[in-house]
Each structure stands twice: as C-alpha cells, then as structure tokens.
Structure 1
C-alpha cells in the first residue's frame, strides 16, 4: 500500500520507530544498503544509497540531493528554467517505507522509492512522485474515484560482451517463439523468481517481436504503487541480466529500424469497489463516466505524447502499422488504436476491464505519465466528453474524409511536434503546475537540441543504453 501523506521533517508518526525496526531486520538478513530511487524529468532513474543503519535518519530527515537533476537530460547535460537548473539549493529524499523491498537480484541491497521535499519541509513542485500522489488524492476527494494501473515492460536483451555501444541480440529465435524462450530460459526464470521474492505478481513473460526482445506484464496496483513497481521491475531485470552476462535496454528504439520497446499503460477507474469500465449502458459496457474519462485521454493524446513518448528515440518507434498506436483513434481490442478498450474475459470483466494507452514507452517518467493521463481523463469526465465513432482495423487505411469524421489524425511524428502540442494544452500544464510543466518543456527541448543533425541510426545509438 502506498503512503499518501507528504513526508515531514522529523518523520510522520511512527515512521522513525518503524525504520529502526526495519534497519535491524534488514541487517539480520544480510542487507547492507538501501537504494533511494526516483525518476527525473528525462525518464532516467536516479539514486542515492545509504547504509542500512542510516535508514531511520533518512526517514526522519531525508537525504540530500540537488534539484538540478530536474533539468538533466538523458546524456547528463543540464538545461535550465526560471526556477530549476541552477547549482543552488538542496532537496531531501524521503523513503516510502511501505514500498521498501529487499532486492532479490542485488544481494545485500534493499530498495525504496522517495518523495523529494524542500529544505524547509515543503512539497517540492518538481517531484513527479509527489505530483502523482496528489493527483490520485484529489481524484478521490473531488470525484470519489480510485484507479488501478499497470505498465507493460518491453526490453531488448543483448550480449554484454558486444563491442562498446553496440547491440548484439542475446537470442536469435523468432518473435513469440519457443526457440527464443529456451535460449534465455535460465535468465527469464531468475527474473520470475526475483519478482516473486519481491512481492511482484507477474501475469506473463514471453518473447516479443523485435530481435532479442521480451515483455513482462505485472499485476495492477494503485497508480503510485504501479509507477514504483515499473521502476523496481526494471531495476530487477537489469540486475539479473548482469548476473547472466547480458545487457538490457528499455530504450524506445534500440535499433533505428523495426519495432521498438513499448511501455503501454493499462488504467481503470473505480468507485466504491466497482469498475466503471464494465457493466454500464454505453458502448461495450462502459459507464458514462468511463466513456467520458476515455474521451478526455483521447482528446489530449497529441499533447500527452510529450510526457509519454519523451525521447527523440520515441519517434523512431511511433510508426504506423507497428501496433504503436500513432493515430487519435480508439477501438475495442484494436491494437493499432492509440486507445484500446480491453473488456477482459467473460466472467472476469468486473475485475479486468480497462483502457490501454499505447503511445507510451519506457523513456517516460512513469509518475509523470500516469498523473498526466489521469488529469486528461478527469478533464473529460468534468466536461462530459463523448468518444467519437470507434475504429476497427488499422486506422492508416481510412480515407481522409472518414478519418476526419471520426476525429482520427496522426499523433506527433517528432518530439518537437509533441512539445508544441504540450505547450498549447492548458489542462495538462495546469495539472503539472508551472514548475514541473516548464521542466518538461525545457528538458524536451534540450533533447531535441542534443540530437540536432543526427540521422536515425545515430539517434538510436545515442539513447540505446540510457534507459
């Protein structure tokens, strides 16, 4: 369960005592250090680590970290906004003890996500985890809604012995093939064992389409915990790979051509334990609220891509007819639509029905992505938005007249187009707040400038091992 209250200097009631007890328990289990993890605006996982014996102090007073990382790029260069990006100031990282786990793939270490707090003890406006936590709390208070979410995680497995910077697939079998599953059987079995040891319920793990590519699907949780889980599972996949002489990439485009790595989001809205995406009187059993929520997401997808597909490499993946969802279209179980209604299996729809958002990859900060998607959906709910006619088959086949009638248009084909759409979207910018919204635009513009003049091959290479 996710802690919903903001951290406070000195610790919330009972936190320090619990951290003391955890410290002793962890030490007894041979755990020597705790990874304090967050994700920056560029989608890069950043950490500080403390000895297990310092967990109580970190819980009470946090651990120092510069706010400059809010405007770091994937290549570790920094840009600046009016507020962020200077060498001045400091923040405190506060671990969420409810989400602390012992890392099965990294013996001797535990892991916990953090919220970032100012030196004065206030909410840091650039903290994406705090942003998502407040979006979720506001939705519960103002609309009586709770959400369940999960990220699909796709990654490419390469040989660690490959020449520096290159990607050599560690498996050669065909897509979804039994050969590929056998080739990396020991590795994927250890991934499953590590996830189980860390309390991560896995729905499936299998070979995917691209060379050396696999996918893992994990159980849905509340949005903050789902974002935490996405970060944890990727840390686990990477750590286990190192133990097998392998190297993994979650980059949207490991290679310039072909299918890339996605990070599709599954999201459902609930009220008083009832799933709003099934059992209703609207199309395919949606309730009116679920349809309005979906319509809100669909309407804002062009601007959302600046958050959900935030890397120049993202646009090497976002191509028509590759199941990436590059048109503003929705459909029932239609994998080429950007927004896919998943009804679930008959008899289990009350539990399984959800929306799948496809133009999302793992360069995205998962907290920013989920918070922005929920904000877009709530805007649709508030306005009573209605979904257009659904699309069946590949939207690329629609003629211009039919596409216009259904509101089907191409999503941004470049990060620059996505940033332009984001700059013009007042709803998303207001939800993020001025500090975080400006950080998003500054970092995205920095990434655009960083690859100016590079061809697709060099763009793919620039981000291949960053995510």
Structure 2
C-alpha cells in the first residue's frame, strides 16, 4: 500500500482517527492519532514526538539518558503496509511507525529501525528471516479492585473453549479482518489462560503482528467486559505467559527461496548453519534475555521445571531447553524446519527481541560457534556439578543481572548502537529500581495492566 491507498481506504471506512503507534523501550505500545482529514499530510510529515519518550520507562518515569530530554523531537512516520481498520474501536484505524529525525533520516533510538538494520545484515549474507510468535495471555475480570481469572478451565480442555467461545470468536474474527492469519488456538495451563499462534511472516512483519495481536486481543476482550493480559506472570500462583519465538532462515533469492536451517542428511533436519546460529544465540543468551524477557516480572516465570526454560541449552523437542528444535512435519519437512526460542515474553519489545536474536545468531554463523551437544533431558535434573561439567549455564535470575550481561556484550550493544543501547539500559534500570520497593503482589498487579 501507499499513502493514497491508505487515505482511500480510510475514506471508504469513514474513519475519524488513525493511530500512529510504536513499541517503546519499556515494551509499552504507545502513540498518537491524527484526524482523518489530515491523514495524507501526516503520513508524509509524520507526527512530532519529544526525544524524551524513548527514555520513558514502563513505570511512567523519565530515565536519565543524555540527549533524550525536553529539547528536540523526532517524527513518527507510519508504514502504509501496516494499515488496518480497527474492528473494536469506532471509526478508527492504525499503523505502526518508524522514528525518524526531522530531516527524514533514521534515528538511532528507533527499535523498528534497529530490526530493519539487522534484516539488512542478513541480506548482506544472502539470507532473510521469518518468524512467528506463540501468544499466551489470560482473560480476567476485575472484582473488588483485583484481577481474577475469567474461568477455571483446565489445560487444553474443551471446558475453556466453551466458556470463552464468544470472546475468542470475536478476537479471531477481528484478527482475520486485520489480515492476521490464524494457525492454532487452545486453552493453556492456567485458569482462563489462552494460547494463540499466528502464521509466520517476514521478521519485520512478524514484529508488527506481535503489536497488532496485543492491541486487538485487549481491545476485543474489553468490549466483552474482560481484561486480557500478556504480562509474564500476572498471577503469582499460576503459570506464566510466554511469547515463544519460532524462527527460520531462508536464502535471499528472488525465485525459490531455500530454508537454510534444513538439511535432510542431519539429525532432525538441522543444518550446520542452523547449528552455528544456535551456537550464537546460546553464546549470547545471558545478555539476549534482557531483550526477550524484559521486565522484573519475567524472572518469576523463568524457573527450572516450569517449561519456560531456565538454562542455556538446546535440544530436539526439549521444551525445557532455551532453544527447541521442533520435529518436522511429514511431507513438508523443509518448509517446517524452524527453531523455537522459549525464553521470550511480551514484556520485551518485539523489534528489539527479534533484532537481538538475529545479531546473536549471525555472530554464531560468522564465527562458526559450536552449540555443543543437544540435551536429551530436562537440564534442571542435572546436579550443579553435572551442569558445571557440561558447561550448562543458568539464566540470569533477575532483570538487573540480565542488564549487566547486556551492557558487557559487545556484539549486542554494537548492533543496537550507542543511543538505543544506552536508552534501553537506562529505561530498564529505572524499572528495576522502582520495583525493588514493591511487593511481588504490587509488581504483578502493575505488570498486569501494562501488558
């Protein structure tokens, strides 16, 4: 689509407002809206936003970052291809935006531009990436000031499918109207916990889709008198919400693209290049996790034996590994070959998470990093001595620890660039400091509404 296509569609749908949205360093989806009468000019010029918003944290505080204060502004420039009419908001549409400087050039603090840079790095190596996310979320009601699960359904149970059939049908219908292709849906382990899988897409569109799914699920649920939360651990006594990343690498051909992770002669169909990519992710995993599990609340989920992964290993269909190599589907082995990153949730900015994943994996390919042997058991079942002998590292147990790892990781910080990396670290450390003074219950409640 181009600007005129968007304007014409907005006129046909009689839209009044079009939202210019972005995901910030706190993982919060924010933005401004233009009146439809100014849509064409706003799409060209953008909407002004203070530099300081990229130093704004998830607890609504301004973190100290040099150059991101009250002076100066950037422009929110929408991507026309992301335009959708919102089925849950009257006469409203939305687009996702890049952050650009006032002269139109790229701005170093823009997460979406960072992912574009990583896609360009892949292209220089003759590759492109596709991704899809498994979206886990809870449906809840508010009772006496507290959020409570909307039902008491069981894992994979048809009871939950029946109890929430109306709202789930509305959510799926809304996503379909926005161009999101649905793959799977089921109830998850927790009461009123849901899991939604969408079709894989090129990695930039996949990140846009993450934001659109979050927005749509919450918006439709609210229409039905419910709250939807993607927070990592919204209920301290229940299962956490993940955002598992399924990732594949393809040859950057104009004709028939080849899945570069696939080699029919290797175990599980996993190619040597795929092993090197895994090696890079595992090499950087303790820093990468600061981008993929990006809130204090995340680390209440990342525990041994919780099926969310807690150790830096990989394995074939090992759901306690950081990276699972899924089994292939008969008849479409090459097309179905992918890697699943388990240690990821919706408190992370998807552009940063996917861009960081590419940077780490590319480092593995370029340096031919050996990931070691795949783990055949739950790594949490080893003794400490056995894990030390095998070189199996535990993830950071707090966001603060992960941020320290990120700051020391030259590959990831150089990929992010000086402004984005310093802004991200400052924002996240602001959140760490804030929640040090809060109880676990206060932390869970505040994360519940944000995500």
Pick one of 410, 422, 433 that aligns with 1:438.
Answer: 422
Residue 147 of structure 2 aligns to a residue whose secondary structure is coil
Pick one of 74, 96, 104 that aligns with 1:91.
Answer: 74
1:163 aligns with 2:144: yes
Q: Does the 8 Å contact 2:286/2:406 carry over to 1?
A: yes
1:249 aligns with 2:232: no
Cα distance in structure 1, aligned partners of 2:306 and 2:106:
41
Cα distance in structure 2, aligned partners of 1:109 and 1:349:
42
Partner of 1:203: 183
Q: Does the 8 Å contact 2:153/2:190 carry over to 1?
A: no
Per-residue deviation, residues 327-352 of structure 1 (Å, max 9, x unmatched): 01110011110111113212122111
Q: 1:389 to 1:114 in 2, by over 3 A?
A: same
Partner of 2:305: 321
Per-residue deviation, 1:453: 3.4
Partner of 1:429: 413
Partner of 1:10: none
Partner of 1:371: 355
Partner of 1:147: 129
Cα distance in structure 1, aligned partners of 2:276 and 2:8:
49
Q: Does the 8 Å contact 2:269/2:337 carry over to 1?
A: no
When normalised by structure 2's length, the TM-score is 0.96
When normalised by structure 1's length, the TM-score is 0.93
Per-residue deviation, 1:281: 4.2
Per-residue deviation, 1:455: 3.0
Cα distance in structure 1, aligned partners of 2:326 and 2:7:
43
Partner of 1:51: 35
Per-residue deviation, 1:389: 1.0
Residue 132 of structure 1 aligns to a residue whose secondary structure is helix
Per-residue deviation, 1:82: 2.1
Partner of 2:85: 102
Q: Does the 8 Å contact 2:315/2:324 carry over to 1?
A: yes
Cα distance in structure 1, aligned partners of 2:438 and 2:90:
40
Per-residue deviation, 1:120: 2.3
Per-residue deviation, 1:384: 0.7
1:122 aligns with 2:105: yes
Cα distance in structure 2, aligned partners of 1:270 and 1:21:
30
Per-residue deviation, 1:462: 2.6
- Runs (4+) of structure 1 exceeding 3 A deviation are 280-283
Q: Does the 8 Å contact 1:277/1:286 carry over to 2?
A: yes
The runs of 5 or more residues in structure 1 that have no matched partner are: 1-14
Residue 129 of structure 2 aligns to a residue whose secondary structure is strand
Q: Does the 8 Å contact 1:389/1:406 carry over to 2?
A: no
Residue 303 of structure 2 aligns to a residue whose secondary structure is coil
Cα distance in structure 1, aligned partners of 2:241 and 2:204:
22
Identify the range of structure 1 (113-122 vs 362-371) with the bigger mean alpha-carbon deviation.
113-122
Cα distance in structure 2, aligned partners of 1:223 and 1:405:
37
1:225 aligns with 2:205: yes
Q: Does the 8 Å contact 2:268/2:328 carry over to 1?
A: no
Per-residue deviation, 1:26: 1.7
Per-residue deviation, 1:79: 0.5
